[in-house]
Structure formats: structure tokens, C-alpha cells
């Protein structure tokens, strides 16, 4: 049976922002340093006024001839048109209209049953979801905020035009479908041919229902529930669908560089977007990273973590968290990913003949590091 709203909300955000589902089967903390060492590291990182990252300016190639019109299909509008009298017809029509996404929504996003069940028992579960008064209220609120998505379609169209320019082998633009799903399991879902945007995950950091689950959606994540994160998250999902990363035991440098390549792709297709919305840091956090870049790099190299493939040893450096244990409290989570981003930027500056596609296909993070000559100076 479909859970009541509170239990649904209480189980959200295991994997908050982007989830990949394969078309075939739909699948797809480290100890703190002792106080004296932590104090030493904190003192080491306290500095100001220096910005050791080269100022990065993304190009703006002419893509006016590109034909990448994005028209967002409003799945949630069709879904909430169902009622006790027409739901069988509505859901049957939606299964035909949305195809793979309808199956994905029912079976994986909402987990209401098997769409191939000849008894179609999932339909009653889906109707219960639609008729739930809290879900109806959520739907109505989403429709007010996202009544007009022309701005979003325009921004996505422009970004995909840039993407086609840099990745000429990948000209097909995915279908983009909006939906609501009771705050989960992700803000963006994707397969190799479509991208789903969960509008109820972009209602603004002060959206009251988010505070109900503040223990599972802390502020550092809730900040990213703003609509200006939709386009970066959507394009990140798209590039992940093109260049899958399934290394069984990657070294830290490999993981850092892989994530850095995804962010570099965002640099190229969103040349006017601030770095803060690409990586999800505040401007204050970004400034701290830039000012302390040499010390951050020294920490990574002196601890001999870069070439470790022991994920438990380095996971704290690339995982979602408000800060990083063993480092100064100002250190934002995923600091290793930020460094990986700077390495990739430097690599592409040093190797201007390397195409974006060639970059994305390099799996060896050490090769990127060596080719970047990355060594921030104090």
C-alpha cells in the first residue's frame, strides 16, 4: 500500500540530487585527528588574500544555428488529472504517452508495483497517491511556482546547443519530463534517452515541508533546492549518461578527476553560470577554497591519499557532508572534487588541442594530473 505522507517524507534523500536508472533493469567516516593535530592543521589553513587558482573564463562559441529546442513534458499534470472515474483510462494513456518513464515512475521512483502485472494493481496505488490531500496540495503548490517553464526550456535549449558544439558525436537531445514524487528519491533521474526533473525538490530552501525532515535534509543540502540548480543538475545527469563511470576500486585521484570532468563539462555548456551553482558551494566556501588551495593540496599529498584505492580512507574527501573531518571546520564537503575540478581546468589550459570528448574518455586520473602540471603555489 502507498504510505501516508509523513512516512513517505521520512524516507527521502538517500541519494538526493541525481539518480541513474539503467533502461534494461532500472538499476543502476574516518577518525578525527587528535586535538593537537587538528589545531595544527587549522593554523596551517588560516591565511587570506591569495587566490592561487587561475581565473577561469569559459568561451562562448556561436551556436545560433543549433536546433535543440527543449519542450518539457508535464507528467505531473497528466497524472493529477486522474480521478476515481477515469484513472484506468488516464494511466493507460500515460503508459502509452510516456513509455519508459511511466514504468520508471511507477516501479522505481514511487515503487508502487509492476506495470506488467495483468491485474494492474499498481493503478489503485497510483490513484491513492493522486487522491492524497497532502500530495494534491503539493501538486497545486508546484503548479503555482512552475506554471510557466519557458525560461527553463530556453536555458536547457541553450545548454544543449553548447553541448552539441563540444560533443559532435552526441547530437541527440534527451526527452525532458517533469514530475513530483513526494520529495524523492532524487531531484533528477535519468536514463540514456530521457531526464526526469522532480519539481518538488526545487521549491526553495525555505519551503516548509523541507523543515519537517530537517534531520535528513540538513541546511547544506536544502540550500540547493532552489530553481537555479535545475539546469546544472540536469546537464550533469546528461553527461553522466554519456560517459558512465563504473570503476570497481578507483584511486582517489581517479574519483577526483572524474567528478572534475563533469564540472568542467558544466563550465563549457553553462559558460555564464556561477561556480557556486555548479558545485553547490556558497560563495564564501568557494573563496575559502581558492584562498587555501596550496594548503588543501599539501594536505592531500602529505597524507598520501591521492593514489590510494581504499575508499574508506578517502571517502570523506568526496562525499556529501557539511565539512570534512580532520580538516579545518571551514572546509566544505567534497573538497576533493573541487580540487579535481581545478586539476581538469588546468589540464585543458595546458592541452588546448584535447577535445571535450577526448577528455571525458580518459579514465586515468594520474594522467590528467601529470598533464595538468597542477601545483598551486603559496
If asked whether residues 234 and 247 sit together in one domain, one would say: no
Q: Is residue 46 part of a domain?
A: no
If asked whether residues 211 and 292 sit together in one domain, one would say: no
The three-point CA angle 94-98-101 to 5° equals 115
If asked whether residues 235 and 249 sit together in one domain, one would say: no
The three-point CA angle 230-105-196 to 5° equals 20
Q: What is the pLDDT of residue 56?
A: 85
Domain boundary among 191, 214, 239: 239
If asked whether residues 22 and 120 sit together in one domain, one would say: yes
Q: Is residue 286 part of a domain?
A: yes
Residues ≥6 apart with Cβ < 8 Å to 320: 16, 221, 333, 334
Q: What is the pLDDT of residue 40?
A: 31
If asked whether residues 84 and 217 sit together in one domain, one would say: yes
Q: Rounded to whole angstroms, how far apart are CA atoms 213 and 154?
A: 33
How do the pLDDT tens digits run along the chain, 378 residues long? 323 323 233 333 334 456 565 433 333 333 322 233 332 333 333 333 334 445 788 899 999 888 889 999 999 999 999 999 999 999 999 999 999 999 999 999 999 999 999 999 999 999 999 999 999 999 999 999 999 999 999 999 999 999 999 999 999 999 999 999 988 778 898 888 899 999 999 999 999 999 887 788 899 999 999 999 999 999 999 999 999 888 888 999 999 999 999 999 999 999 999 999 999 999 999 999 999 999 999 999 998 899 999 998 899 999 999 999 999 999 999 999 999 999 999 999 999 999 999 999 999 999 999 999 999 987
Q: What is the pLDDT of residue 18?
A: 61
Q: What is the pLDDT of residue 38?
A: 33
Residues ≥6 apart with Cβ < 8 Å to 117: none
Q: What is the pLDDT of residue 19?
A: 59
Closest C-alpha among 150, 162, 186, 189 to residue 70: 150
Residues ≥6 apart with Cβ < 8 Å to 173: 68, 70, 160, 164
φ, ψ (nearest 5 deg) of residue 19 = -130, 135
Q: Rounded to whole angstroms, how far apart are CA atoms 89 and 242?
A: 35
Q: Is residue 44 part of a domain?
A: no
Range of the domain at 311: 243-372
Q: Is residue 37 part of a domain?
A: no
Q: Is residue 367 part of a domain?
A: yes
Q: What is the pLDDT of residue 100?
A: 95
Domain boundary among 239, 263, 285: 239
* Environment class of 113 (CB within 10 Å of its CB; exposed 0-12, middle 13-18, buried 19+): middle
If asked whether residues 144 and 76 sit together in one domain, one would say: yes
Cβ(82)–Cβ(136) below 8 Å: no
User: Does residue 229 have a cis peptide bond before it, meaning omega lies within 30 degrees of 0?
Assistant: no
Q: Is residue 350 part of a domain?
A: yes
β-bridge mates for residue 20, sequence order: 190
If asked whether residues 269 and 149 sit together in one domain, one would say: no
If asked whether residues 353 and 298 sit together in one domain, one would say: yes
Q: Rounded to whole angstroms, how far apart are CA atoms 152 and 155?
A: 5
What 3 state SS string does 14-37 have?
CCCCEEECCCCCCCCCCCCCCHHH
If asked whether residues 357 and 280 sit together in one domain, one would say: yes
If asked whether residues 251 and 223 sit together in one domain, one would say: no
Domain boundary among 213, 239, 265: 239
* Environment class of 373 (CB within 10 Å of its CB; exposed 0-12, middle 13-18, buried 19+): exposed
| Three-state secondary structure call for residue 341 | helix
If asked whether residues 146 and 248 sit together in one domain, one would say: no
If asked whether residues 114 and 164 sit together in one domain, one would say: yes
Q: Is residue 224 part of a domain?
A: yes
Q: Look up residue 199 and give its DSSP letter.
A: G
The domain tally of the chain equals 2
Q: What is the pLDDT of residue 247?
A: 84
Q: Rounded to whole angstroms, how far apart are CA atoms 48 and 295?
A: 12
Q: What is the pLDDT of residue 54?
A: 54
β-bridge mates for residue 296, sequence order: none
Q: What is the pLDDT of residue 51?
A: 41
Q: Is residue 290 part of a domain?
A: yes
Amino acid at each position: 500500500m502507498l504510505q501516508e505522507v509523513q512516512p513517505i517524507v521520512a524516507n527521502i534523500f538517500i541519494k538526493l540530487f541525481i539518480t541513474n536508472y539503467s533502461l534494461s533493469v532500472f538499476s543502476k567516516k574516518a577518525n578525527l585527528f587528535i586535538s593537537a593535530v587538528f589545531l595544527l592543521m587549522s593554523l596551517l589553513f588560516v591565511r587570506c588574500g591569495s587566490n592561487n587558482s587561475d581565473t577561469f573564463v569559459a568561451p562562448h562559441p556561436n551556436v545560433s544555428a543549433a536546433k535543440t529546442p527543449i519542450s518539457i513534458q508535464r507528467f505531473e499534470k497528466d497524472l493529477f488529472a486522474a480521478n476515481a472515474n477515469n484513472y484506468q483510462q488516464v494511466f493507460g494513456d500515460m503508459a502509452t504517452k510516456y513509455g519508459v518513464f511511466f514504468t520508471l515512475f511507477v516501479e522505481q521512483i514511487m515503487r508502487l508495483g509492476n506495470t506488467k502485472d495483468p491485474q494492474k494493481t499498481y493503478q489503485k496505488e497510483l490513484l491513492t497517491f493522486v487522491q492524497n490531500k497532502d500530495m494534491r496540495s503539493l501538486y497545486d503548490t508546484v503548479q503555482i511556482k512552475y506554471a510557466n517553464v519557458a525560461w527553463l526550456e530556453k536555458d536547457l535549449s541553450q545548454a544543449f546547443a553548447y553541448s552539441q558544439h563540444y560533443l559532435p558525436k552526441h547530437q541527440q537531445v534527451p526527452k525532458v519530463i517533469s514530475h513530483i514524487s513526494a520529495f524523492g528519491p532524487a531531484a533528477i533521474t535519468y536514463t540514456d534517452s530521457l531526464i526526469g526533473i522532480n519539481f518538488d525538490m526545487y521549491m526553495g530552501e525555505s519551503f516548509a515541508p523541507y523543515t519537517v525532515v530537517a534531520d535528513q535534509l540538513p541546511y547544506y543540502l536544502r540550500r540547493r533546492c532552489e530553481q537555479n540548480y535545475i539546469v546544472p543538475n540536469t546537464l550533469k545527469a546528461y553527461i553522466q549518461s554519456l560517459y558512465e563511470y563504473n570503476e570497481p576500486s578507483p584511486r582517489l585521484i581517479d574519483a577526483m578527476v572524474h567528478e572534475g570532468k563533469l564540472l568542467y563539462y558544466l563550465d563549457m555548456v553553462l559558460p555564464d553560470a556561477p561556480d557556486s551553482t555548479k558545485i553547490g558551494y556558497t560563495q564564501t566556501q568557494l573563496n575559502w577554497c581558492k584562498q587555501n588551495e596550496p594548503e588543501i593540496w599539501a594536505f592531500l599529498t602529505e597524507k598520501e591519499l591521492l593514489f590510494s584505492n581504499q575508499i574508506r580512507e578517502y571517502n570523506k574527501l568526496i562525499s556529501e557532508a557539511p565539512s570534512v573531518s580532520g580538516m579545518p571546520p571551514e572546509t566544505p564537503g567534497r573538497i576533493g572534487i573541487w580540487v579535481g575540478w581545478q586539476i581538469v581546468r588546468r589540464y585543458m589550459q595546458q592541452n588546448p588541442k584535447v577535445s571535450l570528448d577526448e577528455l571525458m574518455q580518459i579514465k586515468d586520473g594520474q594522467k590528467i594530473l601529470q598533464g595538468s602540471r597542477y601545483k598551486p603555489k603559496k
